[in-house]
Amino acid sequence: MPPVDWEDAWRKRVTPWDEGRSPPALRRLLAEGRVPSGRVFVPGCGAGYDLATLADSERVVIGLDVSIDARAAFVESHKDLPGPATYEVGDFFTYDPTGAFDFVWDYTFFCALDPGQREAWARIMSRLVKPNGLLATLLFPYADPIPPNASGPPWPVNTDLVRGLVKDEFELLEVTEAEHTHPGREGKERLALWRRKGRD
Ligand SMILES: C[S@@+](CC[C@H](N)C(=O)[O-])C[C@H]1O[C@@H](n2cnc3c(N)ncnc32)[C@H](O)[C@@H]1O
């Protein structure tokens, strides 16, 4: 696969992944009170639906995307937010925030990356998530096993694939199949929650 030119895709608004709203699994996690308060980060946040969903007066919510046009799409479609949210434009692989996060939400960011970038993704996640903080990966498109000739993006993903990358720094708390999701994604999403190991 040639590398994806995300900025070009956003400039031309060729964004077939964009579902126009947050996935039900995120809204459910919030409704169940399972999203920690404090500092929250959404990498590869695109038009920022998840950023807006997470915005809340108890949280400092930061989204990041490499495309300035993605940020423009966020600003256009989110005039009134329930709480403060900051949308930064930059590259995840060189991102250097002022502090680590209590909660990081990855939906369709990991699967969008070139497989050669996955180890760096895991290294950076262990720097971005505070000890005892939570990394939530809503894994899509879920495939077990991953077909040998898989192509992407989106690249098929599963829990073992992510576990292999993060196991030294994170413990898996649970994996659940998303009961409700966007039309066409049914049965292809699993929510995996990873706790960053503490430093005793
Ligand atoms: C498949 S889209 C998903 C967007 C959003 N999470 C959603 O569910 O609609 C992947 C997003 O990651 C962004 N992206 C890709 N590589 C990036 C990088 N290295 N740093 C920051 N954002 C990146 C793209 O611009 C794009 O908006």
**Domain residue ranges of the chain, discontinuous segments joined by +:** 6-12+20-196
pLDDT of amino acid 1? 64
What contacts 159, CB < 8 A, 6 or more positions away? 139, 144, 172, 175, 190, 192
Q: Which of 131, 137, 132, 199 has the alpha carbon at shortest distance from 165?
A: 137
How far apart are alpha carbons 73 and 92 in whole angstroms? 19
Domain over 6-12+20-196 is classified CATH 3.40.50.150: yes
Could you tell me the mean pLDDT of each successive run of 10 residues in the chain, 200 residues long? 88 96 96 95 97 91 98 92 90 96 98 97 98 98 95 96 97 94 93 89
Ligand 1 center–CA 110 separation, angstroms? 9
pLDDT of amino acid 73? 96
pLDDT of amino acid 81? 85
pLDDT of amino acid 83? 80
Q: Atom 27 in ligand 1: which residue has the minimum CA distance?
A: 46
pLDDT of amino acid 82? 76
Ligand 1 center–CA 105 separation, angstroms? 12
pLDDT of amino acid 80? 85
Q: Atom 4 in ligand 1: which residue has the minimum CA distance?
A: 46
Both structure tokens of 180 = 């409700």
CB 30 within 8 A of CB 59: no
Ligand 1 center–CA 140 separation, angstroms? 14
7-48 pLDDT, tens digit per residue, is 999 999 999 999 999 999 999 999 999 999 999 999 999 999
How far apart are alpha carbons 144 and 161 in whole angstroms? 10
Ligand 1 atom at minimum distance from 47 CA: 9
CB 132 within 8 A of CB 103: no
pLDDT of amino acid 62? 97
Ligand 1 atom at minimum distance from 67 CA: 25
